[in-house]
Amino acid sequence: MRYEENEIQNVTIVSVHGDIIGDQSRRRLVDHVWALLAEDRSRIVLDVTDVRHVDSRGLGELIECFRAAESRGAAVKLLGVNGRLSDLLVITKLASVFECFDTREAAIASFAPLAVAC
């Protein structure tokens, strides 16, 4: 698995390439998210468009990313969820936990501050 990062409007987009499975990905993705959080990058989108397969341990890794961010007052959102990952999120009822987006623009816009009523 490899990652590419882009910073757009103070949102870190992490494009994940490869599979999120078993020992191959164990701790690596969450370690990457922790490193971003340590750099005060609190608005993170994991672009999983190019992820071919996710197993139960990989799903656990995504949950750890979510919890790591939440514990720091940050957010991790998902972009390009499809196939097996989409099925896993629905079956495990995690689809209501993760914010998922179909477009990069929508994911970035989701971090926009809410308007304050006067």
24 has pLDDT over 60: no
Question: What phi and psi values does residue 57 have, to the nearest 5 degrees?
Answer: -70, -35
36 CB-contact burial (10 Å; exposed 0-12 / middle 13-18 / buried 19+): buried
pLDDT in tens, 59-118: 988 999 999 999 999 999 999 999 888 988 999 999 999 999 999 999 999 997 754 555
Map out the domains of the chain as residue ranges. Answer: 2-109
What tokens were used for 15? 């494009």
CA dist 14 → 8, 17, 74, 79 (Å): 11, 10, 15, 10
Q: What is the CATH number of domain 2-109?
A: 3.30.750.24
pLDDT score, position 22: 72
Which DSSP state fits 96?
A: G
pLDDT score, position 52: 87
Q: What is the number of residues in the chain?
A: 118
CA dist 31 → 26, 44, 91, 93, 104 (Å): 9, 14, 26, 25, 23
CA angle 51, 55, 56 (to 5 degrees): 135
